[in-house]
Amino acid sequence: MTSKFFTLALTGATAAVLALAPATDAHSDASNPAVKARMEAMKVIGAQTKVLGDMAKGATEFDAAAAQAAAATMAAEAAKIPALFEPQEDDPESEAKPIIWDDWDDFTAKAMDLEAAATAAEASLTEAGAVGPALGQIGGACKACHSTYRE
């Protein structure tokens, strides 16, 4: 019963995280270079989330080095978010809400929360059982920002 519960909880957490990940082909028509750079960073984060999500679902075998690399890449991209959004640029393809710049301190704090969650994940991803909890923390950080600052 415990393993069935864990599997259901893990599947739910993984689904929630993957739903937050941006589609890799989304917004390819953006013309503003600053907005394109932001979108590319989010695509990288989404791709790393997929790596971890596939391991959590059992679609790919757990690989500690690959999981840790995904988390490290995610942390590095998250660290860039404030600088990428600092220019108050817009594009019709952007899903960034203008409230980002009105509530800048909260927005940047949420970006740093993602960096911290990904950094913690990197350190913890030494066994398959750590992927689900790590994704839960990462997903929570993503959702906290996307709920407020993304269309």
Which range marks the domain in which residue 116 is found? 2-149
Rounded to the nearest integer, the mean pLDDT of the chain is 87
CATH of the domain at 6: 1.20.120.10
pLDDT at 53 > cutoff 70: yes
CA dist 32 and 45 (Å) reads 20
Give the residue-averaged pLDDT of 49-78: 98
Percent of the chain with pLDDT over 90: 80
pLDDT band at 37 (very low <50, low <70, confident <90, very high): very high
64 closest CA partner among 149, 145, 123:
123
Give SS3 for 31: coil
**Which of the pair, 2 or 80, is modelled with greater confidence?**
80
Give SS3 for 96: strand
pLDDT at 131 > cutoff 60: yes
Residues in the chain, overall count? 151
pLDDT score of 28? 62
Structural domains in the chain (count): 1
Give the residue-averaged pLDDT of 12-29: 50
Token pair, residue 75, equals 């942390």
Which pTM was predicted? 0.82
Give SS3 for 111: helix
pLDDT at 7 > cutoff 50: no
Check if the beta carbon of residue 149 is closer than 8 Å to that of residue 82: no
State the Cα angle at 62 between 56 and 63, rounded to 5°: 135
pLDDT at 12 > cutoff 80: no
Dihedrals phi, psi of 30, to nearest 5 degrees:
-60, 135
pLDDT score of 5? 39
Token pair, residue 53, equals 């999500």
Check if the beta carbon of residue 134 is closer than 8 Å to that of residue 121: yes
pLDDT at 17 > cutoff 80: no
User: Exposure of 112 by Cβ count < 10 A (0-12 exposed, 13-18 middle, 19+ buried)?
Assistant: middle
pLDDT band at 29 (very low <50, low <70, confident <90, very high): confident
**Which of the pair, 58 or 9, is modelled with greater confidence?**
58
